[in-house]
A and B are shown apart, each in its own frame.
Chain A
Amino acid sequence: DTGVSQDPRHKITKRGQNVTFRCDPISEHNRLYWYRQTLGQGPEFLTYFQNEAQLEKSRLLSDRFSAERPKGSFSTLEIQRTEQGDSAMYLCASSLGRGQETQYFGPGTRLLVL
């Protein structure tokens, strides 16, 4: 089985630019999660999808952030008008979708906002 994949792995952008990240979950995994991890910290939950429905969003997800999973397969996370504080590792995870099961993580996208 192919694991969770994320693209790009690294992104450098200037403040004010928009960026979009993609996540491809493990096939047949219905749930998809986005987390953000800053240096020296554990990952923090941003949002999650059950198939194409976005069911929960963290207060960390400001109006500049939007996530989609249009066909219930891959997901995109867009950050508009990036700020230096957005610099972090953005992690995607997926799970089967049957209760409290294990989330499997992708390699992450490391964002640096200059």
Chain B
Amino acid sequence: AQKVTQAQTEISVVEKEDVTLDCVYETRDTTYYLFWYKQPPSGELVFLIRRNSFDEQNEISGRYSWNFQKSTSSFNFTITASQVVDSAVYFCALSAGITGTASKLTFGTGTRLQVTL
């Protein structure tokens, strides 16, 4: 069985602060994918990033960066110089199984980020 834990329920920061959202996952599969999605108040889940279990390279995309560490089963997400538009609920998700087969996403409970002026 797969499990994703996002221990931070809600985080509040002031604009321009850096913020890190934590994600810890559990799976017995050796092949898996990790995702981050953003859910703004409108409700639509917006894809941010996907990493596979064989690629532990950290990634930076603009103000966003991701730190994938298999040793601690973590896939953390950092927003640098946060902006009010970053306010949303952020979900970490896991997809595991044999490569080539479709796999459902297992989501964490989400972290609500509130960025204020």
Chain A positions within 8 Å of B, measured between CB atoms, are 31, 33, 35, 40-45, 48, 50, 55-56, 58, 89, 91, 93, 95, 97-100, 102-108, 110
Contacts of B105 in A (CB 8 A): 33, 35, 43, 45, 103
For the complex, give the distance between the alpha carbons of A78 and B32 in Å. 31
Contact of B109 among A40, A48, A110 (CB under 8 A): A40
- Verify if B117 is at the interface (C-beta below 8 Å from A): no
Given A100-B52, A100-B97, A107-B42, A42 and B47 contact (CB-CB distance below 8 Å): no
- Verify if B91 is at the interface (C-beta below 8 Å from A): yes
Contacts of B52 in A (CB 8 A): 100
For the complex, give the distance between the alpha carbons of A105 and B109 in Å. 17
For the complex, give the distance between the alpha carbons of A98 and B33 in Å. 14
- Verify if B1 is at the interface (C-beta below 8 Å from A): no
A-B contact count (CB 8 A): 69
B91 and A42 contact, CB distance less than 8 A = yes
Can you list 10 residue pairs at the A/B interface with Cβ under 8 Å? A35-B105, A40-B109, A43-B45, A48-B102, A99-B100, A100-B100, A100-B102, A100-B103, A103-B105, A105-B44
Contact with A along B59-98 (1 / 0, CB 8 A): 0000000000000000000000000000000010101010
Output the least CB separation between A107 and chain B (Å).
4
Chain B positions within 8 Å of A, measured between CB atoms, are 4, 31-33, 35, 37, 42-47, 50, 52, 91, 93, 95, 97, 99-110
Contacts of B101 in A (CB 8 A): 99-100
Contact of A42 among B97, B102, B103, B108 (CB under 8 A): B108
For the complex, give the distance between the alpha carbons of A97 and B100 in Å. 9
For the complex, give the distance between the alpha carbons of A103 and B95 in Å. 10
Chain A residue with the shortest CB-CB distance to B112: A40
Chain B residue with the shortest CB-CB distance to A100: B33
B100 and A107 contact, CB distance less than 8 A = no
Extra A-B contacts (13), CB below 8 Å, given A35-B105, A100-B101, A107-B42: A31-B102, A41-B109, A42-B109, A42-B110, A43-B105, A89-B43, A99-B102, A100-B95, A100-B102, A105-B44, A105-B46, A107-B44, A108-B44
